[in-house]
Amino acid sequence: MHYILTLVANREAASLTPALINRVRDALRAGMPVILSPGEAADIPLTAAPDMDLVRAALEDAPVDAIPVRPRGRRKGLLIADMDSTIVTGETLDELAVIAGIGEKIAAITARAMNGELDFKDALRERVGMLKGLPVEALDQTWERIRLTPGAADLVATMRAHGALTALISGGFTFFTGRVAAQVGFDMHRSNELLHADGVLLGQVQEPILDRTAKLDALRDLAAERGVQLKATLAVGDGANDLDMLREAGLGVAYHAKPIVAAEARARVDHADLRALLFAQGYRAADITGTA
């Protein structure tokens, strides 16, 4: 067994049927499937890298993700996760803009930046500049709108329980990453600092801005500090500023990602929640911390 194809469906839909698993297995002439979570996840052992065109044809547009992995060193010792639209369901800056009454205007810039059409730093400065004079209380109002992505807490708790270091590395803001990191259970967080004075936002971000290069640097630095080889790392994100770290991590996953990211990432999750990253590492449902 030189490869494994992990199939994962949305757990609420439970659409990973035995018939579908066997159809993929037959198309690849693979070994006996291993069920990781009934209706949700299964491993298919292979002697060679899977032909993903055959996999997609066998799935017949079923809402199931297919993640090819190597069996050796599947469980990773370091997790680097993006925050916006990854660990939380939306973009915190866009939500803040809604409070400011300019949600659509800022969201349009965000969408272009996350798809790699705009320079991340310039786009961040522009959007933050549009928030000048907004009362800082708007940050608390925005926090009340933020929701965690299903599976986020399971992912972090399970990896930590098995000795991994978990880091939230975001191009967003410390006001939110600190709260998200505490709620989800990350070991640490890094992000950008919104400047404010006299109870209002100044329309500026503390320099230097944490961008795609800084995310890659965090992956490399934390791996070195932890004594973990890069092949033993996991990175997950959805935007163009995540691409460098996704390329370099041992397992880089584009999570419900923007088109440019989904097209370039070696692994992608389009249907399932963040538990998919645990199944890709070989964890079974019974292994997941917090799961009955």
Residues labelled as active-site residues? 82, 84
Query: Helix or strand or coil: residue 57?
Result: helix
The answer to whether 209 and 170 have CB atoms below 8 angstroms apart is no
The tokens describing 6, both together, are: 């992990």
Query: Helix or strand or coil: residue 175?
Result: helix
Phi/psi region, residue 282 (left: phi>0; alpha: psi -120 to 50; beta: rest), is: left
The answer to whether 185 and 157 have CB atoms below 8 angstroms apart is yes
Residue entry with tokens 């916006």:
84
CA distance 161 to 19: 34
Helix axes 92-100, 120-129, angle to 10 degrees: 20
Q: How many residues does the chain have?
A: 292
Which amino acid belongs to residue 268?
R
Cis bond upstream, residue 208 (ω within 30): yes
Residue 264 CA: distances (Å) to CA of 75, 188, 252, 258: 23, 28, 10, 10
